[in-house]
Chain A
Amino acid sequence: GNSVTQMEGPVTLSEEAFLTINCTYTATGYPSLFWYVQYPGEGLQLLLKATKADDKGSNKGFEATYRKETTSFHLEKGSVQVSDSAVYFCALGANAGGTSYGKLTFGQGTILTVHP
């Protein structure tokens, strides 16, 4: 079945540091890949997405590239801010037909804390 593995957290950085959160996946077919963010006390918000190999998703300075050869979708940001402190989830969306269609499979989440 489908699965997503994220790097273990928590991750603690100073403001303006470079961020990488690793994400690898196992899937059949050609899934879509997503990064969602959960700020404290809130629901999940879509941060960025990529629907096919070599696509790069980007938003708010965050980027991730869909790498089919390495089955990865690593999240990066060149300069983090205190306001980026949140839990980040990598997710895989089943694109194939059938009973799993529409289902998101999430990684375990990575807690990011950015200090001033």
Chain B
Amino acid sequence: DTAVSQTPKYLVTQMGNDKSIKCEQNLGHDTMYWYKQDSKKFLKIMFSYNNKELIINETVPNRFSPKSPDKAHLNLHINSLELGDSAVYFCASSHWDRLNTEAFFGQGTRLTVV
């Protein structure tokens, strides 16, 4: 059983298009995240949701809109895609726990904008 699953794994699209990436976790966690990994492997948080409520929004362009229909899902919709959006996007989840912020990551979605 995959703990954190993302779809699609690869996404190639043209500039200006709108696309979505889906994420689901079956770990019973109450907090989910989106991270972006650039071409140099650097990872940076984009958003986090706790119990479907937005907690962290790290100065991400408003073309990116996360949506959390329930605690087990956090989808990422991107409007008007730009070349600079090409990256690997990782979904993650964790418990909202003061002593342990260990996160479990999905396999990533490699987005290529052409």
* A residues whose Cβ falls under 8 Å from a Cβ of B: 32, 34, 36, 38, 42-46, 49, 51, 87, 89, 93-95, 97, 99-106, 108-109, 111
Contacts and interface: CB of A to CB of B under 8 A. Distances in A.
Contact of A104 (B40, B55, B98, B103): B103
Contacts, number: 76
B98 A95 contact: yes
Q: Which among B42, B100, B103 has the greatest number of chain A C-beta atoms within 10 A?
A: B103
B101 A94 contact: yes
Given A108-B40, A109-B42, A102 B105 contact: no
B76 to A, nearest CB: 15
Given A42-B107, A43-B107, A104-B45, A93 B102 contact: yes
B31 interface: yes
Contacts of B33: 102-104
Contact of B56 (A32, A34, A103): A103
Interface string B14-57: 00000000000000000101010000111111001010000110
Contacts of A32: 99-102
A68 to B, nearest CB: 16
B5 to A, nearest CB: 10
A108 B42 CA distance: 5
Contact of A45 (B31, B48, B98, B105): B105
